[in-house]
Structure 1
């Protein structure tokens, strides 16, 4: 895939927006509530599968290099944080959302919302599984899978479905305009 300057700017922009979403957070338990999923969802919808994937890879890569763009900083040691799995989930989420939406000739609320919910589900599966493993194996915290779900998914379902709804509604206006103007 050959990227032009516009593509590179858009990829960097969505990586930056995801980083900004990490700073807008409410610390509750092991997993803080943030706006990262909002921008991850937009990256898949607006950029498509490959560029959305690249934007989230760039975001995670920058954080792993030591730039403090994650909710709790950055650096290679972040892979041992219980929340790192959600970052991996964002990468897959952006790709899946983009892939499913790219196939649609016309955007409707449901054909944007349902891929977002699938991407969110993937993020939760990867995030909760990773958190469970890090807490139990690395940190020695005895937590059941139900406890991990209760800490890492349950409190976030309603807000994340809200973000998915917002992305789906606004994308119906934003995406056609961006296409018309030649930005995507």
Structure 2
């Protein structure tokens, strides 16, 4: 892998980590800036490097760096929100296919919407699993949806659209790094 690709991956993994530190508590799942940075990584770096940056971010946290919204360490896998982090990897890959280079906003939004749904599905299934198994707090799918997904749908769709516009602006201004 060329050095510049490694740098891009490291930069976006770091940006996702910074986005996790900017958080607003809203129940069991805090509002953070990880999602727009995961999407931006996919949109600007393309599917492979975008997904790799999200994977590196996840590894940083699992190896103990306090980069997750709730800290870091291997114990993070017991958090009901860890499924959202896992979902960042395929979401960045998906958003990368909606790359901002020579594609319509509708195509970019379609892939970005799919990426957001991947994050929500991964997060929802893991939330249910963690609440019921790790935390011994029974929760059904409807309750989990109301707690972990519903409060964030409109915000993430709006953020997704803003991220696409921001990425297109960066590309127009000469930042052409998608692979």
TM class by shorter chain equals: over 0.9
State the TM-score, normalizing by the size of structure 1.
0.92
Q: How many residues align?
A: 177
| Alignment pair present for 1:43 and 2:68 | no
Aligned counterpart in structure 2 of residue 115 of structure 1, from 108, 111, 118: 111
State the TM-score, normalizing by the size of structure 2.
0.94
Deviations 1:66-117 (A, max 9, x none): 000000100001001000000000011001111x225x86132211111111
| Cα distance in 1 for residues equivalent to 2:116 and 2:101 | 23
Runs of 4+ in 1 over 2 A off after TM superposition: none
Aligned counterpart in structure 1 of residue 127 of structure 2, from 128, 131, 136: 131
Aligned counterpart in structure 1 of residue 53 of structure 2, from 48, 52, 55: 55
Question: Which residue number corresponds to residue 143 of structure 1?
Answer: 139
- Asked if the contact 2:81/2:127 (under 8 Å) is kept, the reply is yes
| Cα distance in 2 for residues equivalent to 1:101 and 1:165 | 12
Alignment of 1:158-177 (within 5 A): 158-176=154-172, 177=174
Gaps of 5+ in 1: none
Question: Which residue number corresponds to residue 27 of structure 2?
Answer: 29
Question: Which residue number corresponds to residue 14 of structure 1?
Answer: 12
Gaps of 5+ in 2: none
**Cα RMSD (Å) of the superposition?**
1.3
